[in-house]
Structure 1
Amino acid sequence: MKKKDRNFQQERGLYTGGWILLALAVLLMAAEKGLHLSWQSFPCLFHKWTGYYCPGCGGTRAVKALLRGHIGQSFLYHPVVLYGAVLYAWFMISHTIEYLTKGRWHTGMRYTDKYLYVGLGMIVVQWVLKNVIKLVWGVGIG
């Protein structure tokens, strides 16, 4: 990709947002540990009303599993969580290196909408698969 094809302003905004997201996550985890909080998630209304999974079902469990270091379990609950975590880490690390070297090392991951389309495809595929498995074999993720 040519240097002029990069949207530096957009990448800078994503990078700043990434640091804010990390700070919020650390604060929430510290509050949970320090204050002994237990975060309860709301039940999925789509699942409650239809008996089938919505496209986001398993996402919270996937995040919790990933934070506990259970990568395989996280992937099985909702693969887009692991995909997003890998993209996030790759983007943040590569841009940090580029910013620390003041652009001498052009390592920053280039943003492209293709990453979003792959994520959306993963969401649709896992949603269909989970519901087909539940419908045909009666096996749930619960």
Structure 2
Amino acid sequence: MKKNRDVKLEKNIYAAGWLLLLVGIILLAVKRIFPADFALPPCVFHKWTGYYCPGCGGTRAVKALLRGDVIGSFFYHPVVLYGAVLYSWYMISHTIQYLSKGRLRISMPYTEKYLYGAVIIILVQWIFKNAVKIIWGIALI
């Protein structure tokens, strides 16, 4: 049985997507106007255990993606690229549908499968990076 789409939820996600884009543009503009490099505190999990946490590499992946380094972004943390692709298609497809007043019904439906996909990607990369570090002693990030 096919589940009905939650149009209200999809509209809220779409609005949040525009808000996220606006905040991102403002932050990038502020960084360009006031070029200060800030350092994030070290990862507590990595500091205490010596192993990577599930989010290790995420900030580097975002920075690489903003520089246009798609391969580097994927290497640091593949869920960032996954999220960027899903975000882009969600926003583009919904914008096209709204601008066409529903004549072009191409909007990407919201489904929790995308979240499960992200969790799987996070777990696989976390296990892989730590396995490489444990087995071969190679630090990947």
Structures share fold, TM-score greater than 0.5? yes
Q: Contact 1:31 / 1:37 at 8 angstroms: preserved in 2? A: no
- Which position in structure 2 is the counterpart of 1:84? 83
How far off is 1:39 after superposition?
A: 2.9
Percent of aligned pairs with the same amino acid: 57
> Gaps spanning 5+ residues in structure 2: where?
none
CA RMSD of aligned residues (A): 1.3
Q: What TM-score, normalized by structure 2, do the two folds share?
A: 0.96
- Name the TM-score, length of structure 1 as normaliser: 0.96
1:97–1:107 CA contact under 8 A, matched in 2: yes
8 A Cα contact 1:94 1:108, kept in partner:
yes
Q: Secondary structure at the match of 1:5?
A: coil
- Match for 1:96: what amino acid? T
Report if aligned partners of 1:63, 1:81 keep a CA contact under 8 Å in 2.
yes
Which consecutive aligned stretches of 4+ in structure 1 deviate over 6 angstroms post-superposition?
A: none
Q: Which residue is equivalent to 1:97?
A: 96
- What are the Cα deviations for residues 85-137 of structure 1, in whole angstroms up to 9, with x where unaligned? 00000000000000001111101100000000010000000000000000111
Q: Is 2:106 the partner of 1:107?
A: yes
CA contact (8 A) 1:95 1:107 kept: yes
Q: Structure 1 unaligned segments of length 5 or more: list them.
A: none
CA shift for structure 1 position 37: 2.2
* Residue in structure 2 matched with residue 61 of structure 1 by the alignment: 60
Residue 140 of structure 1: aligned partner: 139
CA deviation vs aligned residue, 1:9-48 (integer Å, no higher than 9, x gap) = 0000000000000000000010001111223222100000
